[in-house]
């Protein structure tokens, strides 16, 4: 026969259980936050230790060494260029990276350059060596040479020099058409005479126009520090390959806005100068204008043919006044400057497709790129 506790005892036990449970809860409220905090701190401390271990590991060390590796890769191919000319007063060109320093009876333009052929071929800016009577080149190993001007192109602000040296370290060209906004970029040059200075930034914009007086010249924009004396030096990518030739800044000093001639254009100009001593530019012989769009229409612009020279390549191909140019060589044409830039990139003598709209119907005309009449 089972025995039951008296009601008074059962009530006392229940109250005791409630009090004990409350006491445990109270202790938990007091102790748990402290315990949880210590647990979280221990976890955080372990994570920080893991991060420190990773920072000491090969992966992050290799990232840290990237800059020094780039300096070693590209640095030997960068040269200092000094153009000397008879002293005369010149107006200051806003945005040019020419550092003019009077030296007795001569003016000096101090800039940079990059070796693109181990046989002593150097690319620099035209404005660094323009009208120079003498051009001096200093290599990374300390040797100095008198340079010959192979040729220059004022339109692209590029010049090619040659020095009497063999087996020189060279820089490799990159494909500037594949460069995207946000990519890392390094500028190496001779700012203010501080030779082989390397600065770091990103590519801030591509296809930037309206930077210089020539409205048809496109640039890569970067926030890598560029100053007077950097002119003609390379802008390189993460592999140390040349994506551009630095040429201009906004204002008279570094403001985080610098510009470089894209490597594909610089390479083409360099090769043309080495082959023929000058640069030929494409010509179709037609006047084009931006076609006004109806009010409220925000679609891409269009280009209409305002006039055609009857003796021009465009006339021989059958282009007529009033035609609307839609594309050239497979690339869309939305403004006159775009068509001019495509022509500048096209080799003289090449036959390329040009899509037009005539009387409301699209058709393709094959045009042969001619040589501009003033060039021989």
pLDDT (tens digit per residue) in 298-328: 555 678 999 999 999 999 999 999 999 999 9
Determine, yes or no, domain membership for 167: no
Which among 276, 293, 324 is the end of a domain? Answer: 276
Residue 152 and residue 224 in one domain: no
Q: Which of 109, 156, 231, 327 is catalytic?
A: 231
How many CB atoms are located within 10 Å of the residue 181 CB? Answer: 12
Q: How many domains does the chain have?
A: 4
Please, which pLDDT band fits residue 234 given cuts at 50, 70 and 90?
A: very high
pLDDT, averaged across the chain: 81
pLDDT at 103 over 70: no
The pLDDT value recorded for residue 364 is: 93
361 — phi, psi (to 5°)?
-115, 140
Q: What is the mean pLDDT of residues 204-210?
A: 86
Q: Is 231 a catalytic residue?
A: yes
Q: Is 127 a catalytic residue?
A: yes
Which among 135, 162, 189 is the end of a domain? Answer: 162
Which among 247, 276, 305 is the end of a domain? Answer: 276
pLDDT at 336 over 80: yes
CATH code for position 343: 2.30.42.10
Is the pTM higher than 0.75? The answer reads no
The more confidently predicted of residues 342 and 212 is 342
Contact between residue 283 and residue 312 where contact means Cβ atoms under 8 Å apart: yes
Mapped onto helix, strand or coil, the DSSP state of residue 194 is coil
The pLDDT value recorded for residue 217 is: 81
The pLDDT value recorded for residue 95 is: 45
| Cα 225 to Cα 206: distance, rounded to the nearest angstrom | 17
CATH code for position 187: 2.40.10.10
The pLDDT value recorded for residue 87 is: 64
Residue 40 and residue 60 in one domain: yes
Q: How far is CA 234 from CA 15, 19, 21, 171, 219, in A?
A: 85, 80, 76, 9, 13
Strand partners, 282: 371
Residue 237 and residue 297 in one domain: no
Question: Which residue from 86, 81, 202 is spatially nearest to 146, judged by alpha carbons?
Answer: 81
Q: Which of 136, 157, 223, 323 is catalytic?
A: 157
The pLDDT value recorded for residue 178 is: 93
| Cα 155 to Cα 167: distance, rounded to the nearest angstrom | 31
Q: Is beta strand 351-358 parallel, antiparallel or unpaired with respect to 361-368?
A: antiparallel
Q: Which of 107, 112, 127, 156 is catalytic?
A: 127
Question: Which residue from 328, 334, 325 is spatially nearest to 300, judged by alpha carbons?
Answer: 334
Residue 219 and residue 205 in one domain: yes
pLDDT at 172 over 80: yes
Contact between residue 367 and residue 354 where contact means Cβ atoms under 8 Å apart: yes
Q: What is the mean pLDDT of residues 104-122?
A: 85
Contact between residue 364 and residue 351 where contact means Cβ atoms under 8 Å apart: no
Question: Which residue from 47, 166, 63 is spatially nearest to 118, judged by alpha carbons?
Answer: 166
Domain that holds residue 330: 282-371
307 — phi, psi (to 5°)?
-160, 155
Determine, yes or no, domain membership for 72: no
Residue 365 and residue 340 in one domain: yes
User: pLDDT tens digits for 83-100?
Assistant: 988 765 444 433 445 455
Contact between residue 242 and residue 73 where contact means Cβ atoms under 8 Å apart: no
């Amino acid at each position: 026969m089972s025995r039951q506790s008296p009601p008074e005892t059962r009530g006392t036990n229940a109250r005791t259980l409630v009090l004990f449970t409350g006491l445990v809860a109270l202790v938990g409220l007091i102790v748990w936050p402290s315990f949880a905090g210590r647990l979280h701190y221990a976890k955080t401390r372990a994570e920080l230790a893991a991060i420190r271990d990773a920072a000491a590991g090969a992966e992050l060390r290799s990232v840290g060494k990237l800059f020094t590796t780039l300096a070693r890769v590209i640095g030997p191919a960068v040269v200092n260029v000094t153009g000397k000319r008879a002293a005369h007063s010149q107006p200051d060109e806003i945005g040019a990276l020419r550092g003019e320093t009077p030296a007795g009876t001569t003016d000096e333009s101090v800039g940079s350059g990059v070796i693109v052929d181990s046989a002593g071929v150097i690319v620099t800016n035209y404005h660094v060596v323009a009208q120079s009577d003498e051009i001096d080149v200093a290599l990374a190993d300390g040797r100095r040479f008198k340079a010959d001007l192979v040729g220059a192109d004022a339109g692209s602000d590029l010049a090619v020099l040659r020095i009497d040296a063999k087996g020189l370290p060279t820089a490799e060209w990159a494909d500037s058409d594949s460069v995207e906004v946000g990519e890392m970029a390094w500028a190496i040059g001779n700012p203010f005479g501080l030779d082989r200075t390397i600065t770091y930034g990103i590519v801030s914009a591509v296809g930037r126009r309206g930077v210089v007086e020539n409205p048809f010249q496109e640039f890569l924009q970067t926030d890598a520090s560029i100053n007077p004396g950097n002119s003609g030096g390379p802008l390189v990518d993460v592999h140390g390959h040349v994506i551009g030739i630095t040429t201009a800044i906004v204002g008279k000093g570094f403001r985080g806005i610098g510009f470089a001639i894209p490597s594909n254009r610089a390479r083409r100009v360099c090769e043309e100068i080495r082959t023929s001593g000058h640069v030929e530019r494409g010509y179709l012989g037609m006047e084009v204008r931006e076609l006004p769009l109806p009010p409220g229409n925000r679609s891409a612009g269009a280009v209409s043919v305002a006039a055609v020279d009857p003796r021009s390549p465009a006339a021989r191909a059958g282009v007529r006044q009033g035609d609307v140019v839609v594309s050239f060589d497979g690339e869309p044409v939305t403004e006159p400057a775009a068509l001019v830039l495509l022509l500048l990139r096209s080799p003289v003598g090449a036959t390329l497709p040009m899509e037009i709209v005539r009387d409301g119907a699209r058709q393709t005309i094959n045009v042969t790129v001619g040589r501009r009449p003033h060039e021989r």
